[in-house]
Amino acid sequence: MQRLTQAEEQIMQIIWEIAPCSVGQIMDKLGPPRPPHSTISSIVRILNKKGFLQHEAYGRTFVYRPKIKKSSYMRSFLKDLVHKYFSDSPAHLVSFLVKQNDLDPKELNDLIDQLKNKES
């Protein structure tokens, strides 16, 4: 799966949240300073071309829906991250988070409980 640029990902986050939506509705969700309508429209067309979106025309307005679920993109993104930076080992990722103090013991215990529940 292709990676999104920062701007594309920002727009996709909004679309995943509010779809179906128009470019105007996407702009309403952007905080100031908002880019021009033409910029958002261009990004949406790129996302459509990359296969992330589908659209329907209602007169002169296009309504967009995601073709790719957020969870599918997240899974692909994390798999790529683990491959590139953690030797294809999710355990190395978790170990890194623990060492960086980004994962506290309670969170780690919650993850262990989730794994135990998944096994049964």
Predicted confidence (pLDDT) at residue 47 exceeds the cutoff of 90: yes
Pairing of strands 53-58, 61-66: antiparallel
The one-letter amino acid code at 55 reads: H
Chain segment 53-101, per-residue pLDDT in tens: 999 999 999 999 999 999 999 999 999 999 999 999 999 998 998 889 8
Six-digit token string for 110: 């919650």
Domains and CATH numbers, the chain: 6-66 (1.10.10.10), 87-120 (no CATH)
Q: What is the pLDDT of residue 118?
A: 84
Q: What is the pTM of this model?
A: 0.84
Distance (Å, whole) CA 50 – CA 15: 15
